[in-house]
Amino acid sequence: MAITKDINIMELVTNHPEAVPVLAEAGFHCIGCALAQYETLEQGCQAHGIDAGGVVKKLNESIKE
């Protein structure tokens, strides 16, 4: 299953812990933030001024199914 910008951030890191370094490299330094439980990847990217499309691409390249 491919990662999309609509995935919940907490769901992403729970199901794919290997995503954490990719998110950190992109500028997400608040993975444990309370908002991560409610925000989608796209919402988090918008809040931090990060290109969601680029992050999704890197995540899908790094996550092993």
Each domain of the chain, given as residue ranges in start order, spans 9-62
Distance in angstroms (rounded) separating the CA atoms of residues 41 and 44: 5
List, for residues 12-62, the tens digit of each pLDDT value. Answer: 989 999 999 999 999 887 777 777 788 999 999 998 899 999 999 999 999
Quick one: pLDDT at residue 60? Answer: 95
Quick one: pLDDT at residue 34? Answer: 73
Quick one: pLDDT at residue 1? Answer: 67
Split at pLDDT 50, 70, 90, the class of 65 is low
8 A C-beta contact, residue 27 and residue 40: no
Quick one: pLDDT at residue 28? Answer: 83
pTM, two decimals, is 0.85
Distance in angstroms (rounded) separating the CA atoms of residues 34 and 51: 22
